[in-house]
Amino acid sequence: MLNRARPPATVDVWLAEPADLTSSWLAHLDAVERSRAADLPGPQASRFIQGRALLRAVLGEHLGCAPREVPLHVRCPTCAGPHGPVSLATGTGTGPHLSLTRAGALVAVAVSEAGPVGVDVESHAAISAAPLGALPPSRRGVTARTRQRRAALTSAVARSWVSAEAVLKATGAGLRTDPADLVISSRRGRRTALTPDGTRAVLADLDLGPGVAGAVAVVPHAPGPTEPGGPSRLPRLSVHQHDGDAVLAALGTR
């Protein structure tokens, strides 16, 4: 029997840097989002408005509607408040799937039809200040040594961090799953992750330049062909990065 390769899972990621057009973008948010922004301190409010505006602009183009009309669903799994993971309130559960992250000087929005998606971006400096327990065991020693030497974190440590965060977002587990319990591996150029409950995801890095790490993960909808003696094969992840600044600039003129 022919072993046909599974088509790649595709993810589109828009990246934007902080800007000062929040008053223009605010008009494209819904009433709940505007209320949340009003309750946040200045810098946090700006990043929140920018992230939601970028997300709504991207999805509005995808769905063929105005950004403010995009049916977003936001509900905290712990307290049921209007914060936490964001999804489309279409009622179908088939996508597009989305993920949003705000970290330092970057906002990132990921959208995929291939399955639930997670994206994470972080600076090496911020990761170096975080608790060691958030990292996989294989990286904790590396982090401790670099701190003792007062050197910058290695790109390998940063990559482990954002990869784990992206997987936890894609699976919907969040911090209810210890990142140290994830098994992330690489074989023949394909990076994959396995969670304690058996959920499998495929991973890819984002190209963000020096000092910043980023990763995106997808839990594919349909299983791939089963290899003899092994689990079904995950697809490769194809990532397309886009200029989020251009999207926001255009939105600010509407």
Mean pLDDT of 120-134: 73
Is residue 101 pLDDT above 90, yes or no? yes
Model pLDDT, residue 153: 45
More confident site: 156 or 140? 156
Mean pLDDT of 102-114: 89
What residue has token string 């209320």? Answer: 35
Is residue 151 pLDDT above 60, yes or no? no
Model pLDDT, residue 78: 74
Is residue 239 pLDDT above 90, yes or no? yes
Q: What percent of the chain has pLDDT over 90?
A: 46
Lowest mean pLDDT across 71-80, 115-124, 126-135, 161-170: 126-135
Model pLDDT, residue 141: 57
User: Predicted confidence band at 43 (pLDDT cuts at 50, 70, 90)?
Assistant: confident
Q: Where are the domains of the chain?
A: 9-251
User: Predicted confidence band at 23 (pLDDT cuts at 50, 70, 90)?
Assistant: confident
Mean pLDDT of 94-108: 85
Mean pLDDT of 240-247: 96
Model pLDDT, residue 112: 95
Is residue 100 pLDDT above 90, yes or no? yes
Mean pLDDT of 56-85: 86
Model pLDDT, residue 156: 75
Q: Give the domain 9-251 fold.
A: Ribosomal Protein L22; Chain A (3.90.470)
